[in-house]
A and B are shown apart, each in its own frame.
Chain A
Amino acid sequence: MSKLSIRGVEKTFPGRPGSSGATAATRALEPTSLEVADNDFITILGPSGCGKSTLLRIVAGLETPSAGEVRLDGQPVHGPGPDRGMVFQSYTLFPWLSVRDNVCFGLRERGVPRAEQLAVADRFLAQVGLKGFENHYPAQLSGGMQQRTALARALANDPKMLLLDEPFGALDHQTREVMQELLLGIWEQHRKTVMFVTHDIDEAIFMASRVVVMSARPGRIKCDVPIELPHPRSYKVKTTPEFAAYKEQLTEEIRVETIKTLSMEA
């Protein structure tokens, strides 16, 4: 049985009435079904505005689907919970808490004793390479460090799934590549089930065991490509012919959708 099962999930955002600021209803997601196996690393690739975030937020329970349902371990999802850790595209560390207390947040909400909170937090902070920054406030960190803290914060909660919405989207290319390796290393070690949204094709192939391509808005799943590159992967895999073949295939798929998006807007 699969870990996560998304069945016929669709989403329409209601329009806004009003004479000047009226908007029509937005169909963000066509009926979408997806099965995610335990330990899968799924990357979701698609042009901007195709409903990637919407799909991820529905899985997180932050958005309710207009129809269909999401099941985690056979249980229907109603609302957000600590079993699905999330890292957002925007920086969402709590500015009033130190890096360490940010990572402790979820543990504290669950009533874990303080000594254990600290042990767990320090372990994950070391893992994302932030030893020595435990007492900094988020405002004192670079963007990459903030996202690493957010990753440690999600991992510290020991969730069943990790949901990542373009977590490295705002980072420069080099930092981004190092972060990809870091996350992949953590996944190879902890074997969490991961859903990772991106619009970077290299990133999608490098991290994934499966790449799911979404069509232009309204989004639906266009194709589903298993990535059979060996683990552990290092950045060197990006220059292999196998990688290039995947890239060529996905670039073609995405190009068609991007052109559709642009002609729709025109």
Chain B
Amino acid sequence: MADTVSDPLPPQGGGGRRTALFTPLKPVAPALRTTLGIACFVLFFLGWGIATYGGFVKPLFLASPGDSLKAGWALFTEFGFAEDIGVTVWRVLAGFALAALVAVPLGILMGAFKPVEAFFEAFVSFARYLPASAFIPLLILWAGVGEMQKILVIFIGSVFQLVIMVTVIVSGTRTDLVEAAYTLGAKRDGVVRRVLLPASAPQIFEALRLVLGWAWTYVIVAELVGASRGIGHMIIDAQRFLDTGQMIFGIFVIGVIGLVTDLAFRTLNARLFPWAKGR
């Protein structure tokens, strides 16, 4: 096999195939990767099933997989859960897009121009530690309990983190590439647009993927207080009726949406930046 030659060799005298599989940083075949990923889910459901069907946990505390699924079916057919999902997804995307719209350009400016960084850095680092959920009472006072308040919670939770991440990414651009651009006649503007930007784009995209994940936690927190629709509101509603099946199904739906957007981001990243493959 050709690839065994170039791979880092495991230390000699080990236990054959199994040690070969556990060589640090050595990639696994795609098929094995998928199988292992699914196996973890299977194990998770198995554990859940044994705990509930085996009677180790009372249904009041933890619904079985079957009951949760049934509760989910009822949610969609009787309680218009699809609309709740739509509302929550919209809130996440709106808050996230707003944060990205502010944070990405600001982060690029801070990364590229050190006076801008010096001006904003201390404030952003301070603001980054303010918990978004602590703003909810204030935001209700300012913006009421409407959509704007939910979107602002997500915005506050995401924007400062994102600014810092983008700044670090842009600051880390290889200086030799910048120098090469100057010797080729690029001016400051050209260096920012045609070196710093493309060089950081894949990592900025990766940062957006991470922050979108956090945006989901903020939206649920925002919906637990003063909301009439949304997945978070449904979960709180279900709590009043001690319907663990519905609660679990709601949490599960969030996980599935997260998994799908993550996959979409990764695919898009590989499509947009084929040159960055394997780095």
Using CB atoms and an 8 Å cutoff, list the residues of chain A in contact with chain B: 60-62, 79-82, 84-86, 88, 90, 92, 94-97, 105-106, 108-110, 137-139, 153-154, 157, 163
Contacts and interface: CB of A to CB of B under 8 A. Distances in A.
Given A82-B184, A82-B185, A92-B180, 4 more contacts: A94-B180, A96-B275, A109-B190, A157-B184
A160 to B, nearest CB: 12
Contacts of B185: 81-82, 106, 109-110, 157
A157 B183 CA distance: 10
A95 B275 contact: yes
Interface in B149-208: 174, 176-177, 179-187, 190, 194-195, 198-199, 201
Contacts of B177: 92, 94
A184 B181 CA distance: 25
A95 B182 CA distance: 16
B274 A84 contact: no
A62 B179 contact: yes
B273 interface: yes
Contacts of A62: 179, 182-183
User: Which 8 residue pairs are nearest across A and B when measured between Cβ atoms?
Assistant: A82-B185, A106-B184, A80-B182, A92-B180, A86-B183, A96-B198, A137-B275, A109-B185
B210 interface: no
Contacts of A105: 181, 184, 186, 194
A137 B184 CA distance: 19
Contacts of A84: 183
28 contacts: A61-B182, A61-B183, A62-B179, A62-B182, A62-B183, A80-B182, A81-B182, A81-B183, A81-B185, A88-B180, A92-B174, A92-B176, A92-B177, A94-B177, A94-B195, A95-B199, A96-B198, A96-B276, A97-B275, A105-B186, A106-B185, A106-B186, A109-B187, A109-B194, A110-B185, A139-B275, A139-B277, A157-B185
Contacts of A82: 183-185
Nearest to B273: A96
A96 to B, nearest CB: 4
Contacts of B176: 88, 90, 92
A141 to B, nearest CB: 12
Label chain B's interface by main secondary structure: helix
Contacts of A80: 179, 182-183
Nearest to B198: A96
Interface in B55-113: none
Contacts of B183: 60-62, 80-82, 84-86, 154, 163
A61 B268 CA distance: 40
In the complex, which of the residues A86, A88, A95 has the most CB atoms of chain B within 10 Å of its own CB atom?
Answer: A95
A62 B190 CA distance: 17
Given A62-B179, A109-B190, A95 B184 contact: no
Nearest to B174: A92
In the complex, which of the residues B185, B187, B201 has the most CB atoms of chain A within 10 Å of its own CB atom?
Answer: B185
Contacts of A92: 174, 176-177, 179-180
Interface string B197-223: 011010000000000000000000000
Nearest to B185: A82
A71 B185 CA distance: 18
Contacts of A138: 275
A137 B195 contact: no
Contacts of A81: 182-183, 185
B195 to A, nearest CB: 7
Interface in B241-279: 273-279
Contacts of B201: 96
A81 B179 CA distance: 10
Contacts of A97: 198, 275
B270 to A, nearest CB: 14
A105 to B, nearest CB: 5
Nearest to B182: A80
In the complex, which of the residues B176, B181, B183 has the most CB atoms of chain A within 10 Å of its own CB atom?
Answer: B183
A90 B179 CA distance: 12
Nearest to A106: B184
Nearest to B191: A109
B209 to A, nearest CB: 19
Contacts of B274: 137
A107 B182 CA distance: 13
B276 A95 contact: yes
Contact of B184 (A61, A79, A153): A153
A109 B275 contact: no
Contacts of A163: 183
A86 B178 CA distance: 12
Contacts of B277: 139
Nearest to A140: B275
